[in-house]
């Protein structure tokens, strides 16, 4: 088991190399081991292209190819069993006559979900599922939350002063906004933007800040922008509508798709958050960074609809009469660090 664990770790290291290029697919790594020697390695490199198992088997040197049937294949995720953008990896494993497969965790995608393992076992292949399941699922937290909870992975983010104010409505302007976060934490926030499928704000934040919500200070893609604007109050020339990224506008008036703007009509009755998250699920949006304002953030907290909370606190800044930061309970501190005068805290919900 210890040795299995080591190779599963190696699979995760390889899988990580696909970060930023495979979403909404999971990051997956595979290792082929013969007699304690790695003879093949691979990872899912690009969305729509070959899976980890294919790259792993193709990486075996011609002189080692005869060893494949006696080797053990380690994969951080159950091999697929469906015809998607590529043929099933479980068929490839059977064709290659591999006799033993060690799997990191079961795939939550409904078209696979155990059927890859079943296919292998029906072909007489020994399948080992160890206790790395939690680690492997956490590794692809967005993918698993999306498929298991049928909603995007939700990250709440705000910046606050030392006395927990997110802004002063009166004095709210660009200069003050820059005072809360600093150059380094701004850059970090842009990195966070590049890592998620979408970024969400409410109407008031769009009105007060006029943010463009693009990723300018980090490499990588721009997330889809999601604006909640029930009565379409945000002006057409606002930065959030610029051509640099797609924008989905949840509203109560119209349902249209034109160029980069998708107006999506919802009822705004009863449980608005659940309704719009269900739309996001059907639009295949796997993760959302919620950037404000306080009211929207608080409603995610109150509905218990969040997976991570990232708070940037400026330790040197105090604003009187400011707008209070959201109140968060039932959370534990997973990680914290300091960037100059900013203290960054990553919270996770306490599981009961």
- Contact between 41 and ligand AOF (CB under 6 A)? no
Residue 52's binding partner among ligand AOF, Zn ion, none (Cβ under 5 to 8 angstroms by kind) is ligand AOF
Contacts of 213 (CB under 8 A, 6+ apart): 193, 199, 201, 223, 225, 239, 240, 245, 291
- Contact between 52 and ligand AOF (CB under 6 A)? yes
Long-range interactions of 234-239: CB distance < 8 A, separation 24+: 234/203, 234/206, 234/207, 238/206, 238/210, 239/210, 239/211, 239/212, 239/213
> How many residues make contact with Zn ion (CB under 5 A)?
3
* 228/285 with CB nearer ligand AOF: 285
Instruction: Enumerate the known binding-site residues.
Output: 51, 80, 89, 159, 193, 205, 209, 213, 216, 291, 293-299
Residue 290's binding partner among ligand AOF, Zn ion, none (Cβ under 5 to 8 angstroms by kind) is none
Backbone angles phi, psi at 83, to 5 degrees: -90, 105
* 79/293 with CB nearer ligand AOF: 79
State which of residues 44, 157, 165, 203 lies at the interface with ligand AOF (CB under 6 A).
44
DSSP state of 332: E
- Contact between 51 and Zn ion (CB under 5 A)? yes
Structure tokens at 342: 């900013």
**Dist CA 167 CA 160 (whole Å):** 7
Alpha-carbon distances of 104 from 4, 58, 136, 137, rounded to whole Å: 10, 21, 6, 8
- Contact between 85 and ligand AOF (CB under 6 A)? yes
Q: Which stretch binds ligand AOF (CB under 6 A): 4-12, 56-64, 83-91, 263-271?
A: 83-91
- Contact between 89 and Zn ion (CB under 5 A)? yes
Q: Which residue has the tokens 């302007």?
A: 173
Residue 84's binding partner among ligand AOF, Zn ion, none (Cβ under 5 to 8 angstroms by kind) is ligand AOF
Residues numbered 100-139 forming contacts with ligand AOF, rule: CB under 6 A: 107, 109, 112
Residue 44's binding partner among ligand AOF, Zn ion, none (Cβ under 5 to 8 angstroms by kind) is ligand AOF
- Contact between 57 and ligand AOF (CB under 6 A)? no
Q: How far is the CB of 100 from ligand AOF (least distance, A)?
A: 17
Residue 158's binding partner among Zn ion, ligand AOF, none (Cβ under 5 to 8 angstroms by kind) is none
Alpha-carbon distances of 156 from 176, 194, 322, rounded to whole Å: 21, 15, 20
* 49/345 with CB nearer ligand AOF: 49
Q: Which residue has the tokens 């534990």?
A: 332
- Contact between 80 and Zn ion (CB under 5 A)? yes
State which of residues 53, 209, 229, 307 lies at the interface with ligand AOF (CB under 6 A).
53
- Contact between 288 and ligand AOF (CB under 6 A)? no
**Dist CA 314 CA 158 (whole Å):** 11
**Dist CA 200 CA 213 (whole Å):** 9
**Dist CA 102 CA 93 (whole Å):** 12
- Contact between 285 and Zn ion (CB under 5 A)? no
Q: Which of 103, 89, 99 is nearest to 4 (CA)?
A: 103
Residues numbered 172-201 forming contacts with Zn ion, rule: CB under 5 A: none
CB atoms within 10 A of CB 39: 20
Q: Which stretch binds ligand AOF (CB under 6 A): 63-71, 74-82, 265-273, 317-325?
A: 74-82
**Dist CA 273 CA 276 (whole Å):** 5
Residue 167's binding partner among Zn ion, ligand AOF, none (Cβ under 5 to 8 angstroms by kind) is none
- Contact between 86 and ligand AOF (CB under 6 A)? yes
Residues acting as catalytic residues: 53
**Dist CA 345 CA 268 (whole Å):** 32
Element (H, E) at 147: helix 141-149
Q: How far is the CB of 144 from Zn ion (least distance, A)?
A: 17
Under the rule (CB under 6 A), what is the footprint of ligand AOF? Answer: 25-26, 28, 44, 51-53, 77, 79-80, 84-86, 89, 107, 109, 112
């Amino acid at each position: 088991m210890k040795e299995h664990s080591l190779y599963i770790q190696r699979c995760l290291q390889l899988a990580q190399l696909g970060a930023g290029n495979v979403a909404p697919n999971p990051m997956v790594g595979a290792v082929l081991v013969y007699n304690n020697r790695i003879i093949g390695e691979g990872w899912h490199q690009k969305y729509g292209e070959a899976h980890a198992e294919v790259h792993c088997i193709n990486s075996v040197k011609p002189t080692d190819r005869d060893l494949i049937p006696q080797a053990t294949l380690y994969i951080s995720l159950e091999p697929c069993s469906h015809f998607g953008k590529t043929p099933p990896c479980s068929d490839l494993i059977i064709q290659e006559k591999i006799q033993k497969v060690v799997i990191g965790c079961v795939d939550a995608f409904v078209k696979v979900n155990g059927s890859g393992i079943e296919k292998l076992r029906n072909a007489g292949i020994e399948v080992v599922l160890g206790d790395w399941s939690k680690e492997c699922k956490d590794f692809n937290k967005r993918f698993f939350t999306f498929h298991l909870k049928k909603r995007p992975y939700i990250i709440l983010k705000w910046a606050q002063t030392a006395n927990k104010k997110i802004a002063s409505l009166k004095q709210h302007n660009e200069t003050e906004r820059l005072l809360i976060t600093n150059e380094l934490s701004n850059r970090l926030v842009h990195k966070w933007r590049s890592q998620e499928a979408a970024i969400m704000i409410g109407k008031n934040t769009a009105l007060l800040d006029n943010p463009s919500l693009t990723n300018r200070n980090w490499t990588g893609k721009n997330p889809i922008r999601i604006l909640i604007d029930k009565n379409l109050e945000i002006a057409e020339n606002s930065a959030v509508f610029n051509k640099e990224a797609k924008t989905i506008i949840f509203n109560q008036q119209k349902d249209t798709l034109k160029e980069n703007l998708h107006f999506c009509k919802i009822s705004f009755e009863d449980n608005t958050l659940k309704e719009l998250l269900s739309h996001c699920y059907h639009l295949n949006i796997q993760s959302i960074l919620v950037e404000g304002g306080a009211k929207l953030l608080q409603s995610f907290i109150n509905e218990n609809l969040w997976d991570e909370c990232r708070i940037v606190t400026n330790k040197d800044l105090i604003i009187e009469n400011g707008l209070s930061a959201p109140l968060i309970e039932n959370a534990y501190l997973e990680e914290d660090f300091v960037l100059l005068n900013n203290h960054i805290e990553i919270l996770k919900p306490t599981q009961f």
